[in-house]
Amino acid sequence: MRGSPIIRFFLLTLALAVAGAGLMRLTAARVEVKIPELPAISHAVATQFVPFRLLLSAPAAMVTLDPGGAGPPIQLDKSPFNGELRMDPQNPHLSLVVRWKNSLTVDEHRFAKLTLEVPGQETFVHVFDAAGDIDEFLELPLPSEK
């Protein structure tokens, strides 16, 4: 047998001490640190009402326009699809979901044409085109109010 028994004893003792320290750290009681609560920041989002028109290439079973955090989603259930969207002028965006009534044929595309008439600005028109149901997000290039 090679090696000194004293060196083996010290190495074994060192290995047991390291393992014991690791186990003590893992099984030690946790001290819960309380983080003070920050006061709730409430800021009202300034909204702007924007008239819109939506034209569809085929009858739809469901149409939803969601202006993000500025207002609740709008469920449109009968044609003509028009009204007012409540939008955040600092972050103008919306999402459109259209579920078609009839299934599409091969190589058929359907579209939805959205027209926004922001007061004091040029009319904004965007065409959503898809080979199936439409589920799109759009960031609007409208200048924010100061």
Does some domain include residue 99? yes
The pLDDT score that the predictor gives to residue 17 is 94
The pLDDT score that the predictor gives to residue 139 is 87
Does some domain include residue 58? yes
Tokens in use for 54? 């939506």
pLDDT per position as a tens digit, 1-59: 577 889 889 999 999 999 999 888 888 877 777 777 777 655 555 678 888 899 998 88
Does some domain include residue 66? yes
**Mean pLDDT for the stretch of residues 91-114:** 85
Does some domain include residue 35? no
Tokens in use for 121? 């600005």
Of 21, 26, 141, 14, whose CA–CA distance to 89 is shortest? 141
Q: What is the average pLDDT value for the chain, to the nearest integer?
A: 82
Task: Determine the Cα–Cα distance for residues 117 and 125; give it in Å rounded to an integer.
Answer: 9
The pLDDT score that the predictor gives to residue 122 is 87
Does some domain include residue 3? no
Does some domain include residue 11? no
The pLDDT score that the predictor gives to residue 44 is 54
Domain of residue 108: give its range.
48-139
Does some domain include residue 6? no
Total number of domains constituting the chain: 1
Q: Is the link from the previous residue into 59 a cis peptide, with omega within 30 of 0? A: no
The pLDDT score that the predictor gives to residue 143 is 62
Tokens in use for 85? 């969207």
Does some domain include residue 7? no
